[in-house]
Amino acid sequence: MNIGDAARASGVSAKMLRYYESIGLIPEAGRSASGYRTYGERDVATLRFIRRARDFGMPMERVKLLVGLWMDTQRPSREVKNLALRQVAELEARIAELTAMKQALADLAHACKGDSRPDCPILKDLAQETVTPAHPAHPKRSKTAGLRGH
Amino acid sequence: MNIGDAARASGVSAKMLRYYESIGLIPEAGRSASGYRTYGERDVATLRFIRRARDFGMPMERVKLLVGLWMDTQRPSREVKNLALRQVAELEARIAELTAMKQALADLAHACKGDSRPDCPILKDLAQETVTPAHPAHPKRSKTAGLRGH
DNA sequence: AATGGCGCTTCCCACGGTGGGAAGGTCAAG
DNA sequence: CTTGACCTTCCCACCGTGGGAAGCGCCATT
């Protein structure tokens, strides 16, 4: 199989195949005499596995770990479960974050009549002066790092 | 105010200040004789507004629109509300997506005993051959674009 | 007045993943 | 042998954000 066939068979684009290889997520594919990458059923199975793991929102690093666990047929299932639960926890955290955003914004939107007059509580809220607590003599840098949670 | 002061006052990093200027989200700041950017209270207010909008998860483009609406004191509140509701809808979509992932993965994890034996339903599921429906004579490219919903 | 330390400037690089596309080599069918 | 589909490598883009280098400006303390 050439890369295109493997891509179609696995649902991972050829571009991504090369990328995964370059970051070491998958081993280097074999090469034909003319330099084409060649793949077998095993590779396709791995790629499908990876795609499905990605569908759970896992970052590459985590997928790499998971593939490693998959390859090692002797590892305790505990390790896999732990990894999965970590992923679940992160998804939950992200969901909570987004839900808070959504709720806050929805509340504001609810308070806005949405008619032809310019008055708008949404903008009022956004523009609100979040009161600085009587600025200290030497403000230094306040080190409040940006957790803009993306 | 120099850029550092504006950054501290607004909660937007100096780096981002320059970036926002470069993409035209904020107008070019004035310059001191020696080339330092200078900011006033108005600018800081705008920056705070932007930061808060970002806190609702809005992409830059949307923030830009919103700032525009804010500046235009005559626009109907309807426009603001529409924009806000669009954002809420997108957050909801994203939440639904993540929730589906979370649920599916949590279910799998639940089915995994997580003990010292290697047997693991999570990996079994991931490795599952999603049956290809008897491949057509000329597979062409199947055009199933990757909606890996990030 | 000189020096040191911090702040400012611009410019480039990185991340995570993905796609687009150019320039060129290969392969099989017509 | 030509054509078109495929492959190769390489670079660029996205979106925000941070890191850092090299070179100035500004201010306070010796």
What percent of chain B has a predicted confidence (pLDDT) above 70? 86
- At B3-43, the pLDDT tens digits run 999 999 999 999 999 999 999 999 999 999 999 999 999 99
Whether B94 and chain A come into contact, CB under 8 Å, resolves to yes
Whether A86 and chain B come into contact, CB under 8 Å, resolves to no
What percent of chain A has a predicted confidence (pLDDT) above 70? 86
Q: How far is CA A132 from the centre of its chain?
A: 35
Asked if A8 and B141 count as a contact pair (C-beta separation under 8 A), the reply is yes
Q: Which two tokens stand for residue A15?
A: 């571009």
B22 touches strand C (CB under 7 A): no
3-state SS of chain B is CCHHHHHHHHCCCHHHHHHHHHCCCCCCCEECCCCCEECCHHHHHHHHHHHHHHHCCCCHHHHHHHHHHHHCCCCCHHHHHHHHHHHHHHHHHHHHHHHHHHHHHHHHHHHCCCCCCCCCHHHHHHHCCCCCCCCCCCCCCCCCCCCCCC
The pLDDT of A56-74, averaged and rounded, is: 95
Q: In chain B, whose CA is at the least distance from the CA of A96?
A: B95
Distance CA A61, CA A70 (A): 14
At residue A135, the pLDDT reads 39
Q: Considering only A13-22, A119-128, B60-69, B138-147, which range has the smallest mean pLDDT?
A: B138-147
A-facing residues of B in 104-123 (CB < 8 A) are 104-106, 108-109, 112-120, 122-123
Please state, rounded to an integer, the average pLDDT across all residues of chain A. Answer: 87
- Tell me: pLDDT of B65 over 80: yes
Chain B residues whose beta carbon lies within 8 Å of the beta carbon of residue A60: none
pLDDT band at A137 (very low <50, low <70, confident <90, very high): very low
Whether A91 and chain B come into contact, CB under 8 Å, resolves to yes
Whether A10 and chain B come into contact, CB under 8 Å, resolves to no
The pLDDT of B98-117, averaged and rounded, is: 95
At residue A150, the pLDDT reads 34
Q: For residue B96, which amino acid is it?
A: A
At residue B130, the pLDDT reads 63
For residue A130, the tally of other CB atoms under 10 A from its CB is 9
**Nearest protein residue by Cα to C1' of nucleotide C7:** B4
Q: Answer with the residue of higher pLDDT: B97 or A128.
A: B97
Q: What are the residues whose beta carbons fall under 8 Å from the beta carbon of A49, sequence distance 6 or more?
A: A67, A70, B126, B127
pLDDT band at B133 (very low <50, low <70, confident <90, very high): very low
pLDDT band at A131 (very low <50, low <70, confident <90, very high): low
Please state, rounded to an integer, the average pLDDT across all residues of chain B. Answer: 87
What does pTM read for this prediction? 0.83
For residue B147, the tally of other CB atoms under 10 A from its CB is 7
At residue B144, the pLDDT reads 31
pLDDT band at A98 (very low <50, low <70, confident <90, very high): very high
Q: Which two tokens stand for residue A20?
A: 């995964």
For residue A94, the tally of other CB atoms under 10 A from its CB is 18
